[in-house]
Structure 1
Amino acid sequence: MVYNEIDPRKQAFIFELDNVLYPEKDYLLQVYYLFATFLEYTEMLDAKAMLKTMTETYEQQGHDAVFDALQKEFNIDIKYAQNFQILLGNAKLPLKLLLYQQMLDLMQEIVVDRKKLFIVTNGNPQQQLNKIRQVEWHGLEQYLICYFANEYASKPEPDAIHTLIQEHDLQRRDILMIGHTKTDELSAEASGIDYLDAGNFIRTTSK
């Protein structure tokens, strides 16, 4: 799907961040690299081996299982769980996060058409802001308005979207939300706005 196939009456577009505008794994795998390097320096462990364990665990079981798998495999002190969480929230990445090309094209066309761009994202606000700051936006950042849902009530609760609608004097019929999970879809439904799955634009998006 491309921009010209979207209802031209839509005046504002709301995006989730992770796995909608960019692949979340691009952030997490760089954090894993930094954490493995940190442990190599402090505990004299093999960073390459740790990174392999973290990456494989992420791919097979998801992010929530990563630290436990690392601790079990390398007998890491539980105290490093806090370091891991801090790094997740404020890591300075070696490489910029790159938008999906299809989403970059879509957002650029929205801006050229003088319509509004929003991000409404779930998750830890500090961590989500850290990601946003390290995305290569190609100049789009000046047009983006971001809301961190957890500062209101996490999606699928509609509080952040309701606030957005009120603050920008929008009509619900004029808004399209683009997400990638059932949570996003339910949030759009609760807010009374139309919804599209990001998979319509990027075929690599997974539920």
Structure 2
Amino acid sequence: MITYSEIDPQKKAFIFELDNVLLPEKDYLLQVYYLFANFLEYVEAFPPATDVINFFKKVYENHGSPLIFDKAREVFGFDEKYRENFDRLHREAKLPLKLLLYKESLNFLQEAVVDRKEILIVSSGDPLQQLNKIRQTEWNGLEKYLRVYFTDEIAPKPSAEALLYVLDKHGLKTEDVLFFGTTELDAQFAKNAIVDFINVKYS
């Protein structure tokens, strides 16, 4: 993650994607999987929650989240009806632990706020799920400085429409902002809006 001192001081606002930019997506998903596994064991008495948790963790680390419910169902044989519970937990889970920002992101945000820069989050994905993450994140007092937008409520990436909408709403020009993302889709999103882009990488 680039440090605040390396940024062009002429920038008036910073726009961030949420997942894997401000906080690790896995910290949310692994807690969702934990809650689902314990719910399943409570309702069905089998399979053991620890077995399901370990399976989810292994699959996620090796293959990511797509089709993870189907893979678990193949192995453990639980009923398809639990997909609704699985999906609902992604949107509404009350997490056992608060989500924590990357240390580098926290430092950057704190310095930007002190320097009176605008902090905007423009996030893709299910708006309810993303909002649930935001509400359960430890922002260290920064939450009052955040303005949050969801591309799925405006126009999906990589259309420039969502970014241009946010700029217009805040009276900003494209050259006033810097967008922080972590995927090729994010890069194209910024490029389409003619906004400077930084690809965030954590060691």
Q: TM-score range by the shorter chain?
A: over 0.9
Shift of residue 51, structure 1, vs aligned partner: 0.5
2:81 to 76, 79, 92: 79
2:162 is aligned with 1:160: yes
The one of 58, 64, 68 aligned to 2:60: 58
Q: Does 1:8 align with 2:5?
A: no
Query: 1:98 maps to what in 2?
Result: 100
- 1:167-206 correspondence runs (5 A): 167-199=169-201, 203-204=202-203
Give RMSD over aligned pairs. 0.7
The Cα of 1:160 is off from its aligned counterpart by 1.3
Moved over 6 A (4+): none
Return the alpha-carbon distance in structure 2 between the equivalents of residues 132 and 25 of structure 1: 14
Paired amino acid for 1:44: A
Aligned length: 201
1:119 maps to which residue?
121
Separation in 2, partners of 1:165, 1:2: 23
Other structure's SS at 1:154 match: coil
- Indicate if the aligned counterparts of 1:57 and 1:65 stay in contact, CA closer than 8 A: no
How far apart, CA to CA, are the structure 2 residues paired with 1:2 and 1:123?
Answer: 27
TM-score (norm 2): 0.97
| Residues 19-63 of structure 1 deviation map (CA, whole Å, 9 limit, x = unaligned) | 000110000000000000000011111000011111111111110
Say which SS state the counterpart of residue 64 (structure 1) adopts: coil
1:43 lines up with 2:44 in the alignment: yes
**Distance in 2 of aligned mates of 1:53 and 1:164:** 40
- Looking at structure 1, the residues matched to 112 and 63 of structure 2 have their Cα atoms a distance apart, in angstroms, of 36
| One-letter amino acid of the counterpart of residue 6, structure 2 | E
| Structure 2, gaps ≥5 residues long | none
Matched residue SS, 2:42: helix
**Counterparts of residues 21-40 of structure 1 (less than 5 Å):** 21-40=22-41
Aligned partners of 2:84, 2:159: CA distance in 1, in Å?
A: 29
Please say if residues 149 and 155 of structure 1, whose CA atoms lie closer than 8 Å, have aligned partners that are also in contact: yes
CA contact (8 A) 1:53 1:69 kept: no
> Once the two structures are aligned, what percentage of the paired residues are identical?
50
Q: Note if contact 1:37-1:47 (Cα within 8 Å) is conserved in structure 2.
A: yes
Structure 1 counterpart of 2:50, one-letter code? K
Mark the runs of 5 or more structure 1 residues left unpaired by the alignment. Answer: none
C-alpha distance in 1, partners of 2:74/2:158? 34
Deviation at 1:77, TM superposition (A): 0.6
Deviation at 1:65, TM superposition (A): 2.7
Q: Tell me the secondary structure at the aligned position of residue 123 of structure 1.
A: coil
Secondary structure, counterpart of 1:178 in structure 2:
strand
TM-score normalized by structure 1? 0.95
How far 1:120 sits from its partner (Å)? 0.3
